[in-house]
């Protein structure tokens, strides 16, 4: 095992550890993350597999394939974070609206 493989696998395992500590009970997120960690470790240990898969998919190099997959993952994560942000904004709006109505009722009853 080369030095870069040790560094990359260590980084993946640290990220996995942090994720599992802070994870929610969403089984889909857990399944996706576990698959990504397993795939990352496999491609780190056997980098020639990325070239084989890339050639079968019509991509020139394995590094390009990994780069394209990272772009797709980035888009997925961005959309997921955007959806979460919109949901939080809606929750804040609802709380403020309820508080304003409660305050208005309180002032009206006085």
User: Is residue 50 packed enough to be buried (19+ CB in 10 Å), middle (13-18) or exposed (0-12)?
Assistant: buried
Report CA-CA distances (Å) from 30 to 4, 8, 24, 26, 55: 26, 21, 8, 6, 30
pTM (2 decimals)? Answer: 0.65
Report the mean per-residue pLDDT for the chain: 86
Q: Which residues contact 50 (CB under 8 A, 6 or more apart)?
A: 43, 62, 63, 65, 66
Task: Of 12-21, 71-80, 90-99, give the lowest mean pLDDT range.
Answer: 12-21
């Amino acid at each position: 095992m080369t030095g870069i493989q040790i560094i990359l696998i260590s980084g993946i395992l640290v990220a996995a550890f942090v994720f599992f500590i802070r994870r929610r009970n969403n089984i889909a997120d857990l399944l996706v993350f576990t698959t990504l960690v397993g795939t990352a470790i496999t491609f780190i240990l056997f980098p020639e597999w990325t070239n084989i898969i890339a050639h079968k998919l019509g991509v020139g190099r394995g590094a390009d394939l990994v780069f394209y997959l990272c772009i797709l993952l980035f888009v997925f994560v961005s959309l997921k974070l955007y959806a979460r942000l919109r949901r939080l904004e809606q929750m804040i709006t609802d709380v403020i609206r309820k508080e304003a109505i409660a305050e208005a009722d309180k002032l009206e009853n006085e």
